[in-house]
Structure formats: C-alpha cells, structure tokens
Structure 1
Amino acid sequence: MKRLEGGIQPYRASPRLLCTASQQKKDETDKPEQSAAETLLAEEKAQLEEQVKDMTEKYKRALADTENLRTRSQKMIEDAKLYGIQGLCKDLLDVADILEKATESVPKEEVTSQNPHLKNLYDGLMMTEIQIQKVFTKHGLAKLNPDGQKFDPYEHEALFHAPVEGKEPGTVAVVTKVGYKLHGRTLRPALVGVAKAP
C-alpha cells in the first residue's frame, strides 16, 4: 500500500469492524419484524387470557348451578319423605271423620252396663278413634279445631258469616268439620262459621 503525503495511510476497515457494521445493519432491518412478531404474540396472549377468564367464569357458574340443583334435589327428597304420605292421609281423614260422627251420634245415656252390646260397640269405636289419632300424631298429622280462634284463611275455610252473641267479630264461632295439618302444612282446612259484627 502506498503512503500518502504527510505519512498518513488511508483508512482500511478491519474484517471485525465490517462484521459488526453489517450485523448492526441487519439488526436494524430485523427490528421491525421482531416488533411485529412480539405484537402478534401479545395479541395471542391477550386472547388466551380472555379465553381462560371466560372459561373460569363458565366453570364457576356451572359449579354454582350444580350446587343449586343439588340443594333443590335434596329439598325435594326431604319433602317427598315428609309429604309422600299426603294422599293416604287425606283418604284416612274420611275414615276418622266417620268414626268421630259415629261416636258423637250414640246417645251417652244409652251407653250403660244395662245395654252391654251398645257399650262394647261404643267402647270399640272410641278405642279405634283414639288409636287412629295416635297414628296420625306419630306421622306428623295434627288436628285443627279452631273454635274461638281468630279466622286464618290459610288454615280455615269460611262457610258463612253470622253475628254470634258473645263472640268477637272475625273469630271462629262454629266448626262444622275439623281440619288437619301434615308437618305444619295445611292438609285440609277446617270448615268454619265466622262471627261478624251485628
């Protein structure tokens, strides 16, 4: 290589510098591509996070729905156990009513030891009536005889309203047929006459 005047040699790039310069140029041209790839990945990440969030919400809702269904099913099973005998009880109420009417219709003065057949029949009816009431109580069936109580439309069925001496208006004056409740739920309302103001 020739020396220039003044003893200065021309600048000659070393191979290492050339590699570094070309790498910088290459990096500058690749940078926008990396940025586009990063943007694409960030968008994909956001979509996936949104999907995870959505799936988590659906999962939580499904869990809550399942729990509600389980609770409702449990309640239905318990109600079925308690009130499953409702139909049978309604049918037996007619039998209890007939027994009660039979015992009420017998004149008490006729039930004596002079009339042993009638006394035995009456005693048998009374024992049967007592036993059926015990069975009712054992299975949660309670008698409603609301004589003198305040009229309650959930437990009583008013057949008539009439002024009754000595009874406060709005109270039950006459019970024509007793009612029954099964585990606190009215099975048959009592048929009543309600006192009204004169």
Structure 2
Amino acid sequence: MIEDNEKLTPEEIAAAEQPVETPEADPLAEKDAEIAELKDRLLRAVAESENVRRRLEREKADAVAYAVTGFARDLLGVADNLRRALEAAAKDGTVQGPLLSGVEITEKELLKVFEKHGIARIESVGQKLDPNRHQAMLEVAQDGAEAGTIVAELQTGYVLKDRLLRPAMVSVAKAG
C-alpha cells in the first residue's frame, strides 16, 4: 500500500477508484448486449412483416378494384361509336323508329354498366383545362369564354374510380 497520497498522479488515483471487474460481471454485460441486439432485431423483423402484410393487402385491393381496366378501355370505343351513330341519325333523319330506339337503349345500358363498375365520364365543357384529365387538341378564339376554358369536347374522357382511363380530347378558348 502506498502511504503518501501526494506522490500519486490524478490518473493513478482515478484508476485506483475504479471498481475491479470480476470475471462474473463481464459475461453478464455481454449477454445483456446480446439480448438487446436480439430484441432489436426481433422488433425490426415484426415491423417489416407487418409492413409487407399491409402492402400486400393494399396491392390486392388495387388489383380487385382496377382489374377491369383493360376491358373497360376496350369498351370505350363501343360507347363512342354508339354516340356517333345516334348523332349521325339525328342529323340525317333517315333512321327512325325501332332501329334508332334500339341504339339508344343499347347506349343507355352500356352507360349503366359503366356506372355499376365505377366508370364515369369526365365532364369537360365549361371547365378549366386540367392536364391530368384533358388533352387539348385545339385552341380557338371564343367570345365570352375565359382563356383556358374548355369550349368543346372532341372525344369523351373516362375515369375508373379515381384513375384516368382516357383523357377527354377538348378544344380550349384562347387568350385575347
């Protein structure tokens, strides 16, 4: 033992005050660190599996909701042709009676099926041009119309629930 404290340096005094580690204390600290690491890995793995489950549920819901997208796009041409036939018959006046009413009923039935499956027309005329829903084909001078307002619809656009199936092709009023 050292009897004279004045001969020791401050580092030696601090080292002497440190508790001496026993062989039993070191393995416990290692085991505690290993337990903490394993617990962290377990929590991360559980969180990851929960995220994967949620993502798969979301993807499944989207697949169910939008499974008819390709088929719906194909039917849009049919709806367009029925509308063109009705407009041509109205202009011409030669097609009357049962044929005309049959085409009208067919178009109404098709639109009812569209509505049943979440397919809706995009209302365009009188609206501001929305590049996410409309495709401007022409820019025309229009008295009384504000610039950027849709003045005519060249082809109807459709959405499936909240997704765009086909943009509406429109004519837009020009500035000045």
Deviations 1:90-125 (A, max 9, x none): 0000111111111111136736xxx7xx42111100
Instruction: Give the Cα–Cα distance (whole angstroms) in 1 for the partners of residues 27 and 119 of structure 2.
Output: 66
Contact 1:145 1:175 in 2 (8 A): no
Instruction: Give the Cα–Cα distance (whole angstroms) in 1 for the partners of residues 40 and 137 of structure 2.
Output: 56
Deviations 1:36-83 (A, max 9, x none): 8x6222111111111111111111111111111111111111111110
| Larger-Rg structure | 1
2:23 aligned residue? 40
Give identity over the alignment, percent. 38
Displacement of 1:166 in angstroms is 1.6
Q: How does 1:12-27 map to 2 (within 5 A)?
A: none
- Bigger proportion of residues as helix: 1
Determine if the alignment matches structure 1 residue 78 to structure 2 residue 61.
Answer: yes
Instruction: Give the Cα–Cα distance (whole angstroms) in 1 for the partners of residues 128 and 91 of structure 2.
Output: 32
Counterpart code for 1:158: A
Instruction: Give the Cα–Cα distance (whole angstroms) in 1 for the partners of residues 154 and 59 of structure 2.
Output: 35
TM-score, structure 1 normalization: 0.75
Q: How does 1:176-195 map to 2 (within 5 A)?
A: 176-195=154-173
What's the secondary structure of 1:153's corresponding residue?
coil
Displacement of 1:136 in angstroms is 0.2
Instruction: Give the Cα–Cα distance (whole angstroms) in 2 for the partners of residues 107 and 178 of structure 1.
Output: 19
Higher deviation after alignment, 38-47 or 123-132 = 38-47
Determine if the alignment matches structure 1 residue 159 to structure 2 residue 141.
Answer: no
2:80 aligned residue? 97
Paired residues, what number?
Answer: 158
RMSD: 1.8
109 and 162 in structure 1: CA distance in 2 versus 1, 3 angstrom threshold = closer
84 and 194 in structure 1: CA distance in 2 versus 1, 3 angstrom threshold = same
Contact 1:106 1:122 in 2 (8 A): yes
Higher relative contact order, structure no. (Cα contacts within 8 Å, ≥ 6 residues apart)? 2
102 and 109 in structure 1: CA distance in 2 versus 1, 3 angstrom threshold = closer
Counterpart code for 1:193: S
TM-score, structure 2 normalization: 0.84
Instruction: Give the Cα–Cα distance (whole angstroms) in 2 for the partners of residues 120 and 82 of structure 1.
Output: 37
Instruction: Give the Cα–Cα distance (whole angstroms) in 2 for the partners of residues 59 and 163 of structure 1.
Output: 67
Instruction: Give the Cα–Cα distance (whole angstroms) in 1 for the partners of residues 169 and 91 of structure 2.
Output: 26
Instruction: Give the Cα–Cα distance (whole angstroms) in 1 for the partners of residues 92 and 114 of structure 2.
Output: 30
Which segments of 5 or more consecutive residues in structure 1 lack a partner in the other structure?
1-34
What's the secondary structure of 2:175's corresponding residue?
coil
Query: Following superposition, which runs of at least 4 residues in structure 1 exceed 3 angstroms of deviation?
Result: none
